[in-house]
Chains A and B, each alone.
Chain A
Amino acid sequence: MPDSSAIDAGLVALLQADAQLASLMPDGVYMDIAPPGLQRYVIVSLVIAEDRATFEGRAIEDCLYLVKAVMLTTSGATGIKEAAARIDALLEDRPVVADGYHWMGGYREERVRYVEIDETDSTIRWQHRGGRYRVQMTPTPTSTLTTKG
């Protein structure tokens, strides 16, 4: 059975490889938490992942990811709107490549947009914009059969 983390890595790699998104959010793409000190970046978090089985083994990994651009408002930069739109263009019905899996489908389920007040400096605002994206992957037949021996 393939490593489910390959789906996370494939999603992050897809976002990292896009020059347009990189120009809008130049500090990078990260799983869960970005390193301190960054001001414009993309966060990918796994919200929930459900497996669906057949008699041969795991057949579908149905994952919901939160994917959002995060930007420090006081940086003076713009682009949160464009970054969210670019994330959507990259993930809506676009294949994610992951070792040991075939991509089945991907689409946005919910839009996300909110402003966060910085915990240490209440004059600082963080903008968050993106969405919750469903990514459905199926292990390749070889991967499934290997597990079952």
Chain B
Amino acid sequence: MILTGRDGQVLWDPAGVTPGTPVLIVSINNFKLSLKRNMIDVSCFGDVNRVYVPGLKDVSGSVAGFWNSEDTALVEAADMDTPGLLKLVPHAAEPTYFWSGLAYMDADIDTSVDGAPALSGTFSGGGPWVREPIVP
């Protein structure tokens, strides 16, 4: 079902165990997950076009929202040397549809005189990721 993007969720468990107990990070209004695969060029003599085979799938992305002093999970995650458990839910009304896995986080704070301080971060896979539910 197509739903609005207003009710996504980003959850985080710094313990970094699965399934873990990830907790909602508040004041987030955007996340992006990239699952691109690198493609290996295996073109040979005689091929009429380039030919590729897929390599490993990447897991990386970003989260963004507003700095909120009542929830510093994201900036604390940026200090961690071990991966935590990140869970990304496109819509809270469909909580069984999500991606999750171990990830390393970093954070950026962008403060300007005419706006609210913005908080953003990127993540990179730090272990296996799963997509739920698995639909055959």
Contact = CB atoms under 8 A, between A and B. Distances in A.
Interface of A: 52-57, 59-60, 104, 134, 136, 141, 148
A55 B116 contact: no
A13 to B, nearest CB: 24
Nearest to A58: B6
Given A52-B116, A104-B116, A60 B9 contact: no
B27 A59 contact: yes
Nearest to B114: A134
Interface of B: 6-10, 26-29, 65-66, 70, 92, 114, 116
Contact of A141 (B8, B65, B66, B70): B70
Contact of B26 (A53, A54, A104): A54
Interface pairs A-B: 10 shortest CB-CB: A54-B29, A55-B8, A54-B27, A54-B65, A55-B28, A60-B116, A53-B29, A55-B9, A54-B28, A56-B26
11 contacts: A52-B66, A52-B116, A53-B29, A54-B27, A54-B28, A54-B65, A55-B7, A55-B9, A55-B28, A141-B26, A148-B7
Contacts of B8: 55
B7 to A, nearest CB: 6
A55 B6 contact: yes
A148 B9 CA distance: 12
